Amino acid sequence: MSKLEQTINSIKPVNPAFYEKAQKRLDNLTKPQGSLGRLEQFAARIVAVSENTKPVLNKKAIFTFAGDHGVADEGVSAFPKEVTPQMVLNFLRGGAGINVLARHAGVDVVVIDIGVDYEFGNTDGLVHKKIIRGTKNIRKGPAMTQEEAIKCIEVGIDLANEYAKKGYRIFGTGEMGIANTTPSSAIAAVFSKRTVEDVTGRGTGIDDGAFKNKVRVIEDAIKINKPNPKDPLDVLAKLGGAEIAGIAGLVLGAAANRIPVVIDGFISTVGALIAYELCPTVKDYMFAAHTSVERGHWIMLEKMDMKPILNLNMRLGEGTGAALGISLIEAGVKIYNEMATFGEAGVSDRNDGKEQEAVNLPPQTLSGGQKSEAGR
């Protein structure tokens, strides 16, 4: 059995009993039940995914996969192709958007060359996993072979296994690849059965003429390659993206290791969709970080019935949305872990018979260990 098959076989649905355990504690904290809304749901999901009633998200990583795209030759992006390796080096020096937001959220960034059309040599800090030097131009034929696509997926699986072993508790996805909204829209169109125009956006910011061209290029790519929507590996190999395949693998590996994975924006969601088409159970392990401006994004989230955490009109990729999403999920987990219960705090519960250990004032009868933060 291949590594990919093995991984898929080891993914099990999340045990709903853990949701109930988590909810029981959440309902006993000093707040009206459910009043922290989605933060409470995040906490319950983390408990259920990790099967741990005392989860702590102390080690967090975002995996930013970089790859190039032959279809960039068709003028589908506002930026030249050399920006892919330039941005990889920017990531390694900590000067990119993902570095700033990951630092803010206390998340490590792992930068992977999975398919950049540039020779980095011994560049320090880069994870060297180059499977291809960019995809081929999908307007003319398949992006890569199916063997290459599987190898790219396995890079993601291997990283998930490695970082699970290192004790990481939550993953985020990210990517960099000039022109990669083009294969992403192509894949989104195939799986969603929507028109190309429905799922195509402006990427890094192209004008009307370039947009029309982009739609035509994607339509041609689908016509020439004839991807089979029933066969996710066929779609992936033909329409491509090494970084998209890496993300699909990371999602599968995360689920196999019972690690929650936060999906960044449009391109990451395409990677997640490939994983989902291969094994729908991965959905139990995924969070959607945000809705990006890209039109196809929302359609895919709906297809997987995923509700994004944020909507801040972002469209950068790299994992930037995932960093912010992880911080909000961690906020929910801290609520679950750190808030006092009604009993601990000596706070009266509701008027309507659900009362429990209501301790009366004055304050000196109250106990509790945490130091005041007032005037800190």
Our finding on whether 311 is near a copy of itself (CB under 8 A) is yes
Beta bridge partners of 63: 110, 173
Nearest approach, Cβ of 299 to a copy of itself (angstroms)?
19
Instruction: Compare residues 18 and 118 and give the one whose CB is closer to a copy of itself.
Output: 118
Starting at the edge strand found earlier in the chain, the sheet holding 261-263 runs 127-128, 108-115, 60-67, 170-176, 261-263, 286-288
Rounded Cα distance between 16 and 268, Å, is 27
Our finding on whether 315 is near a copy of itself (CB under 8 A) is yes
- Best CA proximity match to 225, nearest among 116, 277, 149: 149
Nearest approach, Cβ of 8 to a copy of itself (angstroms)?
27
Q: Which of residues 324-363 bind a copy of itself (CB under 8 A)?
A: 324, 327-328, 330-331, 334-335, 338-340, 344-352, 359-363
Asked if residue 265 lies in contact with residue 297, where contact means CB atoms within 8 angstroms, the answer is: yes
Question: Taking the chain, what is the end-to-end CA distance rounded to the nearest angstrom?
Answer: 58
How many other C-beta atoms lie within 10 A of the C-beta of residue 57?
22
Kindly write down the DSSP assignment for every residue of 170-184, as one continuous string. Answer: EEEEEEE-TTTHHHH
SS3 for 13? Answer: coil
Our finding on whether 368 is near a copy of itself (CB under 8 A) is yes
Candidate residues 25, 31, 283, 295; the one interacting with a copy of itself per rule CB under 8 A: 31
Here's the x/- map for a copy of itself, 97-116, by CB under 8 A: it reads as x-xxxxxx---xxxx-----
Which positions are annotated as active-site residues?
Answer: 318
Rounded Cα distance between 360 and 364, Å, is 10
Nearest approach, Cβ of 365 to a copy of itself (angstroms)?
10
Instruction: Compare residues 180 and 225 and give the one whose CB is closer to a copy of itself.
Output: 180
Here's the x/- map for a copy of itself, 274-303, by CB under 8 A: it reads as -------------------x----------
Rounded Cα distance between 88 and 174, Å, is 12
Our finding on whether 128 is near a copy of itself (CB under 8 A) is no
Q: Cis omega before residue 362 (within 30°)?
A: yes
Here the tokens at position 56 are 């702590």
Length of the chain: 376
Q: Which of residues 182-211 bind a copy of itself (CB under 8 A)?
A: 204-205
Nearest approach, Cβ of 247 to a copy of itself (angstroms)?
17
Instruction: Compare residues 126 and 235 and give the one whose CB is closer to a copy of itself.
Output: 126
Instruction: Compare residues 142 and 172 and give the one whose CB is closer to a copy of itself.
Output: 172
Q: Which of residues 51-70 bind a copy of itself (CB under 8 A)?
A: none
Our finding on whether 44 is near a copy of itself (CB under 8 A) is no
Our finding on whether 306 is near a copy of itself (CB under 8 A) is no
